[in-house]
Amino acid sequence: METLAVFHILKCGGTTLVDRYKHNDNFVYQRIPSDVVYNYQSSTQQSYHIDMCDRASPSVIFGHGVTFAWDQLLQNSVKYATILRDPIKRMMSAYNYFRLEMINVHNHKSDIDFVTWLINCDRMLPTPVFAQYQQFSTQVPLRQDYGRQVDGELEYELYSTAIENVQRLDHVLFIEDNYIEKFDNIVKHYDVTPNKAVVHQHDTEFWLRKKQSQYVKYSDLNTVAQDLMLQTVHKDQQFYEYCKRKFA
């Protein structure tokens, strides 16, 4: 038997895939590294420490807490996968999602500007947004000196680690490239079936409009904000383009 473990990176379309497959008994959700959830968001939901997965060997493991530790935890073979997204689109999605969550969770229509959010986004709830490559190194804030600049030395170190670790991935999908269809094709071999009614669960733009709020696009930003964005995602853009060349 083989297991697929999927790294769920923030704002890369993973929630749609979770909702599409969570009804399968052999699908587990792993939000944090130490725990897994069987029958996620159902009346029979149960959480277990990761060491108790011998209760029933899962076919698909999906979540923000997935690590390469599954090689040692399961007796069967483990394959690894993830979904990546254009870094600029991802950051804009995260900014708008933050604003939507402020309304939904706190009943507060935030007027935080993009630059302020971007400088502080990896220290803020409900959406801490680390670079995608940090899912394969260490998820720590990179800004220093009260957000004035990015720690270039740490950024280089984490990027190098990520490039080394990403070699262990068996499948890398791209949200802009029919990722749902491609994921369905991959998991056919893992004894799970999709809920085909689930195709897109979290349309931030739609719900912001419903709340009478604008969805801010990169083209809406001024030059200062656009320049800061490009500086911020520079390494993540390199990582994304590297993975495109290697896995697309």
63 touches 97 (CB < 8 A): no
SS3 21: helix
134 touches 163 (CB < 8 A): no
pLDDT at 216: 97
Confidence band of 79 (pLDDT split at 50, 70, 90): very high
**How much is the pTM?**
0.94
Give me the CATH number covering residue 23: 3.40.50
Q: What is the mean pLDDT of the chain?
A: 93
Gap between the Cα atoms of 125 and 230, Å rounded: 23
Gap between the Cα atoms of 135 and 15, Å rounded: 16
Using one digit for the tens of pLDDT, what is the confidence trace for 132-182? 999 999 999 999 888 888 999 999 999 999 999 999 999 999 999 999 999
152 touches 61 (CB < 8 A): no
pLDDT at 55: 58
Q: Which domain holds residue 74?
A: 2-247
Q: Which helix (H) or strand (E) covers residue 2, if one does?
A: strand 2-7
Higher pLDDT, 143 or 62: 62
pLDDT at 74: 86
- Res 81 pLDDT > 80: yes
Q: Which helix (H) or strand (E) covers residue 245, if one does?
A: helix 234-247
SS3 183: helix
Q: How many domains does the chain have?
A: 1
Using one digit for the tens of pLDDT, what is the confidence trace for 191-244? 999 999 999 877 899 999 999 999 999 999 999 999 999 999 999 999 999 999
User: CB within 8 A of 97, min separation 6: which ones?
Assistant: 11, 127, 202, 204
pLDDT at 56: 66
